Amino acid sequence: MAPGSAPALATAMAAEAELAEVRFARGCRCFAAWEGADVIAYGWLSRRPEWIGEVRLEIAPAATDAYVWNCVTLPGHRRRGLFRALLVFICARSREEGRFLLWMASAGGGAEKAVVDAGFSPVLALNEHRLAGWRRLAASGAPGSEPDAVAAARAGLALGRRTVIGRRPAPRVH
């Protein structure tokens, strides 16, 4: 987000507006979709450990990874492809900056198609009390870049609801 855009972000974040300053102070970045002077969708990107509320675990991205989270499209602007466009932009910018693995967590709600359309692949699915299934895509990522959430899920931690954690695979070089 550009300097001076804090008031528009605060308006979009409404009750969570006070969190923006704390997130920026921690080094998080915010990406936004605008309509005129208004932020109508936003998403956060972090390269540091973050708490994933959907799975009640902390993710600690590797040095070349990042975590995409708290993506919101304001109610009057939904079903227009803004979430997908925001993810595509975050992925492109991250790739330009040398971050090829991006992680997300989703608790359902219909956004999974946009996540897959933006290039993310499912890594694991968790249910109420156990790991329902997981798969690692051999073509994606550097060895050892597995965040704590994946290791914890493999250990079968009890979790609150079905959740899919995905990551954008590294581009293949031809």
CATH value at residue 14: 3.40.630.30
**Is 124 domain-assigned?**
yes
**Is 174 domain-assigned?**
no
**Is 149 domain-assigned?**
yes
**Is 38 domain-assigned?**
yes
**Is 100 domain-assigned?**
yes
Q: Measure the CA–CA gap between 100 and 38, rounded to whole angstroms.
A: 30
Per-residue pLDDT of the chain (174 residues; tens, 9 = 90+): 765 688 999 999 999 999 999 999 999 999 999 999 999 999 999 999 988 876 667 888 888 889 999 999 999 999 999 999 999 999 889 988 888 788 887 766 667 788 888 888 777 666 544 333 332 322 233 334 444 444 444 443 333 333 444 555 444 443
Retrieve residue 16's tokens. Answer: 């969570």
Q: Which residues pair with 68 in a beta bridge?
A: 45
In sequence order, the 6+-apart residues with CB closer than 8 A to the CB of 86 are 31, 32, 33, 41, 42, 43, 71, 73
Q: Kindly report whether the global pTM for this prediction surpasses the value 0.85.
A: no
**Is 50 domain-assigned?**
yes
Q: Please state the domain count of the chain.
A: 1
**Is 173 domain-assigned?**
no
**Is 86 domain-assigned?**
yes
Q: Measure the CA–CA gap between 11 and 7, rounded to whole angstroms.
A: 6
Residue 97's domain comprises 6-168
Q: Measure the CA–CA gap between 22 and 1, rounded to whole angstroms.
A: 15
